[in-house]
Amino acid sequence: MLSVVYNTFTPIFLIVGAVMLVGRWVALDARVFSRAIIYLFTPALVLNSIATTELSAGEMGRVVLATIGCGLVMACLAWGVARLMGFSRHFTGTFLATAVIMNGLNFGIPFIRFAFGEHAYDRAVLFNVGQVFMVYTLGIYVISRGTGSVRESLKNVFTIPLPYAFTLGMMLNLLGWELPLPIGRAVGTLAEATVPCALVILGLQLSHARLAGQWRPLWTIAAVRFIGGAAIAMLLTLLTGLGGLTQQVFIVQYSMPVGVSSGVLAVEFGGDGEFAAAAVMFTTLISVVPLSILLAVV
């Protein structure tokens, strides 16, 4: 487990630390990076991953279905918890996003590769496709609802390119077609920029993160994310018939700490960016304990 911590946490925090250091002397706008991820890098990642995966259509469908189901159940759970805790409408939108969005990309994929080997990689990527789809549909909606109407929230969902990239990738995969070489290379290059850009945003957010005074909601989101996430993932894999390695990868992936994208969306759509950044930092720092226990169980 010390190797997991070293090989996974160290590169992330080296990049984040470098961004925080540079940010002291150079004015970096997190919103510019967040828009690049939403409108360029993530759609390219989804299109490239879906179009080129070698997993069967049936398994892809079950993983994506289970991921969407987990997101909906987690949103309901987080909403109930937020009501019990007496959170404001504005804060509840961000709280729901931090519950639904986990760090399956820049933390989860290397963690899965180390824990289960290279043969688990395609499953981890496919999980992130379903997760990214949830992030940029349900995630945008719940954050936007904190400051806008239902109509405005739905408009935000349908004006981003992610759903269209997902649909195109599925068509290419099922038909066995490939993008023209120049377009394919352009899409692949944009996809590779997603994780570095996300880490730059994380560094910018953490440079302003404040844990003091937020311990009650932070411990609450940690419990929802780790305990609730593992329980919901176990239930949905049983209901959708996922088993073996796919089930193990799915449960561990859905129990990751709060994802950087929650802060990206909070910055872009008027949520509580300060809490999102604090939740990312706090759950990442304590994640070694719940993830170690989970690996021993699955």
Domains of the chain plus CATH, in order, are 2-297 (1.20.1530.20)
Share of the chain above pLDDT 70, in %: 88
Q: Is 172 exposed, middle or buried (0-12, 13-18, 19+ CB in 10 A)?
A: middle
Q: Is 274 exposed, middle or buried (0-12, 13-18, 19+ CB in 10 A)?
A: middle
Which own/partner contact pairs does 170-179 have at CB distance under 8 Å and 24+ positions apart? 170/50, 172/50, 172/51, 173/50, 173/51, 173/52, 173/53, 173/57, 173/60, 174/57, 178/51, 179/51
pLDDT score recorded for residue 256 = 92
**pLDDT class of 153 with cuts at 50, 70, 90:** low
CB atoms within 10 A of CB 258: 29
Higher pLDDT among residues 13 and 1, named by residue:
13
Distance separating alpha carbons of residues 159 and 203, to the nearest angstrom: 27
pLDDT score recorded for residue 240 = 86
State the angle between helix axes of 162-175 and 42-52 in degrees (0 to 180), rounded to the nearest 10. Answer: 20
- Report pLDDT digits (tens) over 164-190: 888 898 899 888 899 999 999 999 999
pLDDT score recorded for residue 281 = 84
- Report pLDDT digits (tens) over 62-88: 888 888 888 889 989 999 999 999 998
Report the number of secondary-structure helices (H) and strands (E) in the chain: 19, 0
Share of the chain above pLDDT 90, in %: 23
Looking at residue 163, its amino acid is P
Distance separating alpha carbons of residues 204 and 36, to the nearest angstrom: 15
Q: Return the structure tokens found at 177.
A: 């077609």
**Region 236-264: what's the mean pLDDT?**
87
Q: What DSSP designation does 208 have?
A: T
Q: Has residue 136 got a pLDDT over 80? A: no
**Region 113-132: what's the mean pLDDT?**
77
CB atoms within 10 A of CB 288: 16
pLDDT score recorded for residue 185 = 94
